Each structure stands twice: as C-alpha cells, then as structure tokens.
Chains A and B, each alone.
Chain A
Amino acid sequence: MTVDWGTPFVLSMPLAIRSLELLFALSVGIQTLEFWRLRPAMQNDGLWVWAIQRKDIPTPWIRLSLDALFTPKMFNVLLLTRLLALISMAAQACNLLNVGFLFVSNLAMLIRWRGAFNGGSDFMTLVVLTGLLIAQVASYFTTSEMAWRAGLWYITIQSITSYFMSGSVKLLKPEWRDGSAMTIFLNASIHGPLRTGHWLRKPWLTVTGSWAFILWECAAPLALLEARVALVFCGIAAFFHFLVFWFFGLNRFFWAWISTFPAIVWCSGQF
C-alpha cells in the first residue's frame, strides 16, 4: 500500500466528534471508577478527610453546601450519576445536559481533591470538558458546525500548547539537556528506583531519549500543518504517554491526552 501524499486528507467532523466523545467517556469513566475504589481514603483514617479539607473553603454557605454534597452517601450518588452521564455520552452523543452535569460535577471533584487529584490529567480533562461545553452552549447562538469548530479548536490549541510548553521548559534546563534529569525522575518515580544496571541508567540512552522527546514536544505545533502529519504526531504521542504510564504510573495522563487526538487531527485538516 502506498500513501498518497498528494490528496488532502481530512477527518470528517462527525467522525472527529464521535471519536472524541467515546475517548473522553472512556477517560473520565476510568477516573470515576478509580474514585469509587478510593472512597475509603476519604473517610476515617484516610488521607483525604473532608472534616479537615473543608477548612480550605473560605465562604461559609458554600462550605455548608459542600458538607452536604461530600457525605459518603451523596458522594456515591455523585459518582454514579457521573457514570450515567458518561454512558449517555458514549451511547448517544454529547448534549447540554450530560456535558453540563459533567462540567459542574467536575468542579465539585476538583474541590474534593484540593484543586487537582493528579495534576496534569485533571487539567486536560477540564480542557476537553470545557471544549465540549463551548460546543454545546455556542450551538444555541450559532450553527452546530460553527459551535463544534470552536470547541475542537479550543481543545487542539490547549493540547498542542501542552506539548510545546512541556518540551520547551525542559530545553531550558541543563539537567534535561545532559540526560541526567530523566534518571533522577525515574529513580524518584512511584515504580522506582531503577535497579543497578538498568538500561535507562546508560547516559548515552538518557541523553538520546531526552533530546528526542524534547525536540518532538517542541515541534508539536507542526502537527497542524497537515492531517497525516498530525496522525504521525498522535501515534508518537500515544507511545510517549504509554512510556510515561509505564515508568511513572500516570495512566490518567494517557487517556486524558489521547482523548484530544481526534480534535488535533480534525483541526490539522482545516487549513
């Protein structure tokens, strides 16, 4: 099979939207089921006890409202309702009801985990959710196609920016340029430390690996040039996120970023 680079490749908007909905539902579904399993950590001797965390809330009436929302029983209801909203999104499509509920309940989840449970994956989950909300709300003021265009571009710009920023800040650090940062972070990782003689302790390999990922991340905006370039970029990104999962345990990063790929591929075909 030969790839025809002469003919423009464009991912259709309906296919991009459907892929986005399914991947996002899977990503947030995985997060929600993990929160379900983590309920014991939010009670009694657990780390995330609301009786202490509630002191973070500066406004008394909001604190009292959240006291009611974060009782164990109500929190169960919240998680189960989120699962229902995700099933509705995957089985049918996005609508203002399921996206609006997921957005508002996501804010509650952020508060329950002091702003973020897992850092970057929470940021990207909120980005996709905001993009979906933009598409739903804007469709009341303009055509559905224009509304989705706005939502998909919002997600794409944030996702591409995340790669570029992540790569460029590493480029400015000497420890990343000489490869030592990779070994230091791998040793400190939840699956670490690396055993003596591990292949990732070889300096030539960490230098090569560090530079490969820094240059690839910094080149992320080039993915917007053409949809096939975007597909290749997303393929490498999936491999990169899998490595990050494997070595750092960040499974949520994998799914949160993968769910932005349909938007990237669609946008790259729009010029």
Chain B
Amino acid sequence: MTIYWVIAYFLVLALTLIYKTPIVQGPWLFLFRSFFPNWKFFHAVGYVPHLYARAALANPKAELTWTEWEHLYPRTSQSFWQLFHNPVTNLGLAQQNLIDHFWADLNDAPEGCDPRQFVSYQMVAHFVQGVLKHKYPEHSHTQFELRMLLDNASGNVHTHVMLTSPEEARL
C-alpha cells in the first residue's frame, strides 16, 4: 500500500512541474511570500544582476572627477564556526537578494516608469551612499549602475548595463 501512496505523491509533484499557475502579485503577497515557497534553488543559469558604484570629487570649478567603477559584491572567507554564527555572510547574501529584487522591479516596470519610486531603488541608493561615504569621506557625489553579467564555467562572457543612476550629491 505504501508504494502506491509514494507513486501518487511522485505524480502530483511531477504535475506541478508541468502545470503553470498564473503569477499573483501584490504588496502583502510579496512580504509574505515565504508562505508560498517554490523550492527552486540555484536552478537558472543566465544573466545575473550586479551592482557597480563610483564616487566623485568636485574641484573649485565644480567639475567632477570620478573614481573607477567598483563592483559592490559581497565576498567572505570560509570557516567551520560560521555554521553556528555567520552574520556577515548572511548580510552579504541579503544584499545580493536585494539587488535581485531591484532587477525584478526594473524588469516588471512599465515603459517610461521612473525607477526612483521603487523602494528597492531607494534602498540600493542608500546602500551605495553609505558604502562610498565610508570609503571616500571627502567625495561629494555618487552614482551606481545595475549591470547584467553572463558567466560560463570559465568566466564572464557578456555584460550589459541595465540602469545608470543620476549623479547624486552626497546628503
């Protein structure tokens, strides 16, 4: 009898892979999406959003001199003890999740929409300001880009810029 239950369970799961349900969206559904897990991890290979940022210093003529673009991507080292306490790595992962949500917001946005209205945009802008203020305390302006990177097993094969923010004066 057990085997029939297990087979039936297999079949139901297989059907869920084939049958596509419509995507339902809403602010509360987004905040409580943990109630509807899809359990698809690390499955899609393709373009991945990455954040780049730079800072500028204004000279007396108010001309801006920009730093090189910097890749704001979290990297940490491994340790066995992080199995029990790993706040820095988890914060880095949460940062990259935010970049993914920012990309999703841009991707779903209608043509001509101002991305600055998105909470994800404002969070990313605030984050960039914080990072660059710490690294370049004297600089007066910041700017960021969302770039889409396509990698294969050997490395990066293509990059395109999805969004370049306006040059922002530091608050």
Binding site for B on A (CB under 8 A): 30, 33-34, 37-38, 41, 44-49, 52-53, 55-58, 107, 110-111, 113-120, 122-124, 126-127, 158, 160-162, 164-166, 168-170, 172-173, 175-176, 180-181, 183-185, 187-188, 190-192, 201, 203, 206, 221-222, 224-225, 242, 245-246, 249-252, 254, 271
Instruction: Given the known inter-chain contacts A191-B75, A191-B78, please indicate yes or no for A56 contacting B90, CB distance below 8 A.
Output: no
CB contacts (< 8 Å) of A175 on chain B: these are: 45
Check if B33 is an interface residue, CB within 8 A of chain A: yes
Q: Is the CB of B2 within 8 A of A118?
A: no
A225 adjacent to B3 (CB under 8 Å): yes
Residue in A closest to B13 when the chains form the complex, CB atoms: A164
In the complex, the answer to whether B17 meets A58 with C-beta atoms within 8 Å is no
Chain B, residues 1-28, CB within 8 Å of chain A (1/0): the string is 1110110011001101100000000011
Q: B140 an interface residue at 8 Å Cβ cutoff?
A: no
Say whether A47 contacts B130, CB under 8 Å.
yes
Q: With A55-B119, A190-B93, A249-B76 known to touch, is A201 a contact of B153 (CB < 8 Å)?
A: yes
Q: How far is the CB of A189 from chain B (nearest CB, A)?
A: 9
CB distance from A66 to the nearest CB of B (A): 11
Contacting B133 at CB < 8 Å: which of A45, A122, A176?
A45
Q: What B residues does A115 contact at CB under 8 A? A: 30-34
What residues of A have a CB within 8 angstroms of the CB of B78 in the complex?
191, 246, 249
- The 0/1 profile, CB within 8 Å of A marked 1, for residues 22-49 of chain B is 0000011011111101111111110010
A47: B residues at CB distance < 8 A = 91, 94-95, 98, 123, 126-127, 130
- Kindly provide the distance from the CB of B109 to the nearest chain A CB, expressed in whole angstroms: 16
Q: Most chain-B Cβ atoms within 10 A of its Cβ — which of A111, A114, A122, A191?
A: A114
B41 to chain A, nearest CB (A): 5
| Contact (Cβ within 8 A) B34 A30 | no
Q: Please indicate the chain B residues that have their CB under 8 angstroms from the CB of A161 in the complex.
A: 13, 39
A110-B34 contact given A117-B94, A162-B39, A222-B6, CB 8 Å threshold: yes
Q: A190 touching B74 by the CB < 8 A rule?
A: yes
A228 CB, min distance to chain B CBs, angstroms: 14
A37 to B54, CA, bound (A): 28
Most central of B35, B39, B48 by chain A CB within 10 Å: B39
Residues of B near any A CB (own CB < 8 A) = 1-3, 5-6, 9-10, 13-14, 16-17, 27-28, 30-35, 37-45, 48, 74-78, 82-87, 89-98, 101, 119, 122-123, 126-127, 129-130, 133-134, 151-153, 155
Residues of B close to A37: CB separation below 8 A: 85, 87
Q: List 22 A-B contacts (CB under 8 A).
A: A46-B130, A52-B123, A52-B126, A116-B97, A119-B97, A123-B34, A123-B39, A161-B39, A162-B37, A169-B43, A184-B151, A185-B45, A190-B75, A190-B92, A201-B153, A221-B6, A221-B13, A245-B83, A246-B78, A249-B78, A249-B93, A252-B86
Given the complex, which residues of A lie within 8 Å of B34, measured CB to CB? 110, 115-116, 122-123, 126
Q: Complex Cα distance A196/B126, Å?
A: 36
- Chain A contacts for B39, CB-based, 8 A: 120, 123, 161-162, 165-166
Whether B83 pairs with A254 at a CB distance below 8 angstroms is yes
Return the contact of A180 from the options B35, B95, B152 (Cβ within 8 A).
B152
In the complex, residue of chain A having the shortest beta-carbon distance to the beta carbon of B2: A271
Q: In the bound complex, do residue A224 and residue B2 qualify as a contact, i.e. CB atoms below 8 Å apart?
A: yes
Most buried by B among A49, A119, A250: A119
CB distance from B43 to the nearest CB of A (A): 4
Q: Smallest Cβ distance from B156 to chain A, in angstroms? A: 9
Within 8 Å CB of B155, what residues of A? 187
**With A47-B127, A188-B48, A251-B84: A111-B153 Cβ-Cβ less than 8 Å:** no
Q: Is the CB of B90 within 8 A of A181?
A: no
What residues of A have a CB within 8 angstroms of the CB of B86 in the complex?
A: 34, 249, 251-252
Residues of A within 8 A of B28 (CB): 58
Contact partners of B38 in chain A: CB under 8 A: 165
Chain A's closest residue to B86 (CB) is A251
